[in-house]
C-alpha cells in the first residue's frame, strides 16, 4: 500500500519536484564538497587547469551524441509510443523496442567516436588548451583517453534515465548524480595518492559506472527489458533522430562555446581555467537545485499537454513554474552577489586554495550571479519547445548566444582577464533567456504575461530590500566574530542570510504574493502526500 502511495506521490509535479530537488541538493552539496577537496588538494593552479580542460573533450562527445537525444527527443517520443502501447494493449511494447534500438545505436556511435578521440587526442587537446605548454598538453591528453571510458557508461545510463523520467520514477533517477559525485570523491581520496593526477580520471570512470548501476533495479522493475535490437526502420527511432539532430547541433554549439572559453582561459595566467570552472560550479548549485529540478519535473507534464493539445494546461503549469523559479532564484542571486567572498572562503578556502585564489574566484562568481535567474529559466524554456517536439528554435537561439559569448569574451578578456569570460557568459545568458521567452510567446500567445510581470517586479523590489538587510547585517556581525576563522565567516554569512531571508519571506507573506500561495499549496500537497505515504 505504501509503495503504491509513493508511486502516486512521485508521479505528481509536486512529488517529482520534491524528490528531484532533494536529490539535487544532496548531489550539489557533494559536488561542492568535491570542489572543496579538489581546491584544497591542488589549489587553483596547473593540476586543476589540466583536469578541467581534459573534461571538455569527453563532455563534447557526450553532449552531442547522448544528451541531444535524451533532453529533447527521447522522452516526448517514448511517452507518445508508451501511450499508444497502453491504448492498443500492445504486448510487444514498441516503446521498449525504440529505447533498446536507441541505446544500442548510441553505444555503437560512442565506440566509433572513441576511436577517433584516441587517435587524435593530441591534436584535439592542442585546440582546447592552446595556451598550455607541451608537458601540460601531454598530461591533458592522457587524462582525456582515460576519461572517455566514462562516456560509454553515461550513454547507457542516460537512456535508462530517460525511461525512468518518462515513467516519473524519480528516486533512482535522482540518486544517479549523487553516486557520480561519490565516485569522484572516492577517486580523490583513494586513487590520487596511488596514481597521481590520473587517479582523478579513474574516479570519473567509477562515478559514471555507479551512475548507471544505481538505476538498473528501478528500470527493471518498471517492466523494461534490454535486448540487442537495433532497428533504424522503427518510426519512433527515425522520429527521435530527426528531433535530436537540431538539438545535437545546438549542444555542439554550446560545447564549442565552452571549448573557446577554455582555450581563451588557457592563454591567461596559470589557474584561470580552474578559477572559471570553480566559480561556474558554485553558481550552478541553485540553478540545478531549483531551475533544473523544476524544469525536469514539469517536462513530462508539458509533453502530455502537447499530446492532449491542451494549451491552457500548458500555460497554467508554465506560469506557475516560471514564477516559482523567479521567487526562489532572484533573492538567491542577491545573496551570492553580496556574500560571494564569504561563500568562496567557506566552500573552497582551505589547504592549497589561498587568499589570492579566493578573491579571483569570488569576483568571477559575482559576474556569474547577475545572470543566475536567466540561467535558471533557460532549462524550463528550452523544454517547453522540446515538449512541442520543436528542437530547432532553441538551437537557433543557442547559436546567437554563442556568438555573443565568444565575441564578448574576446573583447572583455583583455581588460578584465577571467572576469571578462564570466561577464560575457552572463550577457549571453540574458540574450538566450529573452529570445526563448519571446519565441515561445510568439508561438502560444499570452503566457499569463501580466501575472508574471507583476510577480517579477514585486520579487525584484523585495529582493533589493533583502539585499539592504544583508549588507547591514554583514557589517554589524563582522566586528563581533573572528573573520580569519572558518566559524567566524560562517556566522557572518549565516546570520546575514537568515536575517535577509526572514525579511524577504515576511514581506512576501504580508503583501500576499501569489508565489507564497503557490509554495504554500506546494508544501501542503507535499505534506498531504507524505501523510498518505505513512498510511
pLDDT digits over 436-463, tens only?
999 988 888 888 778 888 888 989 999 9
Q: Does the structure show a pLDDT above 90 at 159?
A: no
Angle value at C-alpha 492, between 489 and 495, nearest 5 degrees: 140
* Burial of 204 from C-beta contacts in 10 A (0-12 / 13-18 / 19+): buried
Could you give the angle at which helices 486-510 and 311-338 cross, rounded to 10 degrees? 140
* Burial of 134 from C-beta contacts in 10 A (0-12 / 13-18 / 19+): exposed
pLDDT digits over 47-100, tens only?
888 888 888 888 888 877 777 556 557 777 887 777 777 766 655 577 788 888
Cβ proximity of 186 and 216 under 8 Å: no
Q: How confident is the model at residue 368 (pLDDT cuts 50, 70, 90)?
A: very high
Instruction: Using a cut of 0.85, tell me whether the model's pTM lies above it.
Output: no
Q: Does the structure show a pLDDT above 90 at 191?
A: yes
Q: How confident is the model at residue 1 (pLDDT cuts 50, 70, 90)?
A: very low
Residues with Cβ < 8 Å from 188, sequence gap 6 or more? Answer: 34, 37, 38, 41, 199, 200, 203
Under DSSP, the state recorded for 74 is I
**What cell does 80 get?**
507518445
**520/529 Cα distance (integer angstroms):** 14
Residues with Cβ < 8 Å from 425, sequence gap 6 or more? Answer: 261, 280, 367, 368, 371, 405, 409
**233/246 Cα distance (integer angstroms):** 20
Q: Please give, one letter per residue, the 3-state secondary structure of 87-129.
A: HCCCCCCHHHHHHHHHHHHHHHHHHHHHHHHHHCHHHHHHHHC
Q: Does the structure show a pLDDT above 90 at 208?
A: yes
Amino acid at each position: 500500500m505504501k509503495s503504491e502511495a509513493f508511486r502516486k506521490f512521485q508521479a505528481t509535479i509536486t512529488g517529482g519536484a520534491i524528490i528531484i530537488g532533494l536529490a539535487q541538493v544532496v548531489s550539489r552539496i557533494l559536488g561542492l564538497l568535491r570542489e572543496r577537496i579538489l581546491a584544497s588538494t591542488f589549489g587553483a593552479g596547473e593540476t586543476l587547469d589540466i583536469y578541467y580542460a581534459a573534461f571538455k573533450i569527453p563532455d563534447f562527445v557526450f553532449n552531442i551524441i547522448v544528451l541531444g537525444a535524451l533532453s529533447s527527443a527521447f522522452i516526448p517520443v517514448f511517452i507518445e509510443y508508451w501511450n499508444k502501447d497502453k491504448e492498443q494493449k500492445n504486448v510487444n511494447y514498441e516503446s521498449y523496442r525504440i529505447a533498446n534500438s536507441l541505446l544500442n545505436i548510441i553505444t555503437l556511435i560512442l565506440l566509433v567516436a572513441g576511436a577517433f578521440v584516441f587517435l587524435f587526442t593530441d591534436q584535439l587537446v592542442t585546440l582546447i588548451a592552446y595556451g598550455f605548454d607541451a608537458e601540460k598538453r601531454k598530461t591533458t591528453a592522457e587524462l582525456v583517453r582515460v576519461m572517455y571510458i566514462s562516456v560509454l557508461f553515461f550513454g547507457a545510463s542516460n537512456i535508462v534515465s530517460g525511461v525512468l523520467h518518462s515513467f516519473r520514477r524519480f528516486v533512482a533517477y535522482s540518486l544517479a548524480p549523487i553516486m557520480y559525485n561519490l565516485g569522484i570523491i572516492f577517486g580523490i581520496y583513494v586513487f590520487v595518492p596511488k596514481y597521481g593526477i590520473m587517479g582523478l580520471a579513474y574516479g570519473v570512470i567509477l562515478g559514471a559506472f555507479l551512475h548507471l548501476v544505481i538505476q538498473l533495479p528501478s528500470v527493471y522493475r518498471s517492466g523494461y527489458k534490454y535486448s540487442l535490437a537495433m532497428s533504424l526502420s522503427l518510426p519512433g527511432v527515425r522520429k527521435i533522430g530527426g528531433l535530436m539532430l537540431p538539438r545535437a547541433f545546438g549542444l555542439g554549439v554550446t560545447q564549442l562555446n565552452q571549448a573557446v572559453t577554455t582555450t581563451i582561459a588557457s592563454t591567461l595566467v596559470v589557474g584561470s581555467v580552474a578559477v572559471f570552472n570553480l566559480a561556474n560550479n558554485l553558481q550552478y548549485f541553485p540553478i540545478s537545485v531549483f531551475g533544473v529540478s523544476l524544469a525536469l519535473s514539469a517536462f513530462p507534464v508539458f509533453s502530455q499537454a502537447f499530446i492532449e493539445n491542451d494549451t491552457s494546461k500548458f500555460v497554467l503549469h508554465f506560469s506557475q513554474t516560471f514564477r516559482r523559479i523567479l521567487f526562489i532564484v532572484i533573492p538567491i542571486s542577491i545573496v551570492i552577489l553580496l556574500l560571494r567572498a564569504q561563500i568562496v572562503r567557506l566552500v573552497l578556502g582551505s589547504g592549497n586554495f589561498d587568499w589570492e585564489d579566493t578573491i579571483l574566484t569570488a569576483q568571477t562568481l559575482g559576474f556569474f550571479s547577475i545572470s543566475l535567474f536567466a540561467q535558471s529559466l533557460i532549462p524550463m524554456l528550452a523544454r517547453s519547445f522540446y515538449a512541442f517536439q520543436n528542437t530547432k528554435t532553441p538551437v537557433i537561439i543557442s547559436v546567437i548566444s554563442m556568438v555573443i559569448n565568444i565575441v564578448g569574451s574576446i573583447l572583455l578578456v583583455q581588460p578584465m582577464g577571467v572576469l571578462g569570460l564570466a561577464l560575457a557568459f552572463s550577457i549571453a545568458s540574458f540574450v538566450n533567456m529573452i529570445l526563448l521567452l519571446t519565441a515561445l510567446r510568439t508561438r502560444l500567445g499570452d503566457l499569463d504575461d501580466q501575472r508574471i510581470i507583476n510577480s517579477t517586479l514585486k520579487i525584484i523590489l523585495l529582493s533589493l530590500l533583502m539585499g539592504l538587510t544583508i549588507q547591514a547585517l554583514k557589517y554589524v556581525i563582522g566586528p563581533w566574530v573572528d573573520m580569519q576563522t572558518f566559524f567566524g565567516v560562517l556566522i557572518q554569512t549565516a546570520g546575514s542570510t537568515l536575517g535577509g531571508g526572514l525579511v524577504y519571506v515576511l514581506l512576501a507573506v504580508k503583501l500576499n504574493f501569489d508565489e507564497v500561495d503557490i509554495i504554500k499549496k506546494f508544501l501542503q500537497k507535499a505534506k498531504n502526500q507524505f501523510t498518505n505515504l505513512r498510511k
